[in-house]
Amino acid sequence: MIKLLRVIVVFLMFRIDWRKLFLVCSILTIGSVLIQISSLPYPLTEWISPPQPAISFYKPLNTAVHLGQSQSLTVGIQLESVQDAPVVVSVNSSAKLNETIVISKKRKRVSQRRRRSNTAKSINMVSPSSPPRILKKLPSHIERYISSLTPDEALAFAKRDIENSSLPSDDDPELYAPLFQNISTFKRSYEWMELLLKPHLTGIYSSEGWFMKLMEENRQFVTKDPEKAHLFYLPYSARQLQMALYVPNSHNLKPLAVFLRDHVNMLAVKYPFWNRTHGLDHFLVACHDWGPYTLKEHKELFGNTIKALCNADVSERIFISGKDVSLPETTIRDPRRPHRNIGGKRVSQRPILAFFAGNRHGRVRPTLLKYWSDKDDDMRIYGPLPSRVSRLMSYPQHMKSSKYCICPMGFEVNSPRIVEAIYYECVPVIIADNFVPPLNDVLNWDAFSVIVAEKDIPKLKEILLAIPFRRYLIMQTNVKMLQKHFLWNAKPVPYDLFHMILHSIWSSRLNQIQIPQPSYVQFRFVCAFVSVISL
C-alpha cells in the first residue's frame, strides 16, 4: 500500500501543481487510514472506532432468542483445519446479529404487552411461571448468520461470547451455582453446545455403554452429513476388543492397540475428515481400564484425539489434563431402572463417620486396610464386605448411613464408588494421587468432596474430624444437588450425565480454537503509516 501511494505521489509531482498534490495526498491519507482500520481484528477496531454493543445471547434467552432444544438448528457449514490460520469472525456480521436481537426483543415485548392486556383478568390469581430455559427455534436472521460461518468460525464466535458471559447465578433453577467453578461460563457454553454441536458417527457402530447407546439414538446433536459436523465420534469398545483379542493371562495389550491403529488408518484412507485436522476434531469414549493403553500404536490418535476416559491418570502421560475428558465410572445394575435405589438417609441418621469395602488390590487399598481395618468403630473399613456384616447391613445401606464414603483407587485411579457415593448422598473421599476427577473442567470438587493424599492415609480420621460440621452439611447438601448431573436417563434430559460428558468434549474442542488477539505490532504499524503519509 505504501509503495503504491509513493508511486502515485511521484507521478503526480510531474503532472499537477503543489495545491492539487496536497489535496490528493490528503484524500489518499484519509482513505488509506480507513482501509487499515477496517481491516484490523475485531478487538483492535474497538480502540479506534466506536464500540459495537456486546453480543449477548443471555437476555434474548428469555424472550426471542434461545439456544438449542429438540428442534435445534442443523447448521450447514464446512469443516476447516484449526492449524492453518487463526479464525476471524466478521465485525459487520456481529453488528447485524446485535441489531437482529434488539429488533426481536422489541417485537417480543410488544406481543407480550398485547397478550397481557387481553388476558389480565384470567391471570390475577396465578403466579407467573418461570421463564422458559430455551426456545424451540431461532429467528431466521440469526439462523442465516450462523449458517454462513464455517464450523471453526462458529466455534470461535461461540468461544468469544462464552468468555464474555456474565449470567446471573440464579438464572436457571435446574443448576446449583456452588457446584460449579463458574456457572456463568458453563451455562453459556452449554447453550452454545446445544445450538452448534453436531458430532458425526463413523466406523463400526458397536456399543460402549450408555454413552454410545444414547449418542446413536440422539437426534439433536447427531448429523448424517459430515460437512455439518463440528466433531467426529469414534465409537469403539475397549471391552469388546479385550473379549475378542486379548489372550488371557498374557498381559499383552498390543494386539488391541494394533487393531485400533489399523481401524483408524482405514478411516483415514476411506474418508477425508481425519486427515484435515489429523484427528483434532475426533473423539472417543472408553471407560475400561485398558482404554488408554489401546491408543499407543497410533501417534495422532494418541496425541490429537479428544479422549473421554475413566482411567484419567496424568502420571501415565496418556490422559492430557485440559484436553482430554475425565469420565465418571458408573455401575448400573438394572438398565431398565437406572435410578433404582438412589437416595440416602438424612444427616441425623448417618452414625458412621467413614465407610469402605472392596477388594485389596492396587497400591492404596492395602495401606488403607493396614491402618484402619477393624481399628475404630467410627471407621468402617473392610476388604470385601464380610458376611457377618452384610447380614445386618448391605453395602448400599452402609453408604446411605455414612457421612463420608472412602473412594481409594484400585489397579487404576478411578473408582465407581465416587458416583455411588453421590447416588447415596454420601460425601466422597477420594484417595488417588495423579487422578483428575470426573468433569473437573466445570465442576468444583472442593464443594462436595474431600481429596486426601495417599501419604495422609494414617491421618484419615483426623482429617475428617477436622472438617467443621457446618462445612460437612454444605458438602452433603451439594452432593444431593449434584446427583442429577451423574444420572443416566433412557431419554436424555438437560444437564444429565450424557449431556455433561458431551459438554466436556465440546469444551475441549472449543479450547483448541484460536481467537485472534489485538496485535500491538499492527497498531504501531498503522500509527507509523498515518504519520508517514501525513508528512
- Write the pLDDT tens digit of every residue in 78-123: 222 222 222 222 223 333 334 433 444 445 454 555 444 443 332 2
24 — pLDDT class (breaks 50, 70, 90): low
Residues 165, 91: Cα–Cα separation, whole Å: 18
Q: How confident is the model at residue 206 (pLDDT cuts 50, 70, 90)?
A: very low
Dihedral sign for Cα atoms in the order 469, 474, 475, 477: positive
User: Looking at residue 491, what is its pLDDT?
Assistant: 87
Domain 347-486 has CATH 3.40.50.2000: yes
Give residue 1's pLDDT band: very low, low, confident or very high (50, 70, 90). low
Q: Which residues contact 118 (CB under 8 A, 6 or more apart)?
A: none
Residue 30's pLDDT band (cuts 50, 70, 90): low
Residue 210, C-beta contacts closer than 8 angstroms, at least 6 positions apart: 330, 332, 488, 497, 498
Residues of the chain with CATH 3.40.50.2000: 347-486
- Report, as an integer, the average pLDDT of 129-152: 60
Q: Looking at the whole model, is its pTM more than 0.75? A: no
Of the candidates 231, 233, 327, 338, which has an alpha carbon nearest to the alpha carbon of residue 288? 327
Backbone angles phi, psi at 137, to 5 degrees: -150, 140
pLDDT of residue 528: 45
Grid coordinates of 216 = 446413536
Distance CA 387, CA 390 (A): 5
Instruction: Give me 333's grid cell.
Output: 445394575
**Alpha-carbon span 282 to 296, nearest angstrom:** 16
Give per-residue pLDDT as tens, 226-262: 888 889 988 777 777 777 788 888 889 898 899 889 8
- H-assigned helices in 430-490: 460-465, 469-482
The SS3 assignment for 84 reads coil
Task: Kindly report the length of the chain.
Answer: 535
Q: How far apart are CA 213 and CA 520, in angstroms?
A: 50
Would you say residue 308 has pLDDT above 60? yes
Alpha-carbon distance of 404 to 356, in angstroms, equals: 9
Greater confidence (128 vs 283) lies with: 283
| pLDDT tens by residue, 405-442 | 999 999 999 888 999 999 999 999 999 999 999 999 99
pLDDT attached to residue 31: 54
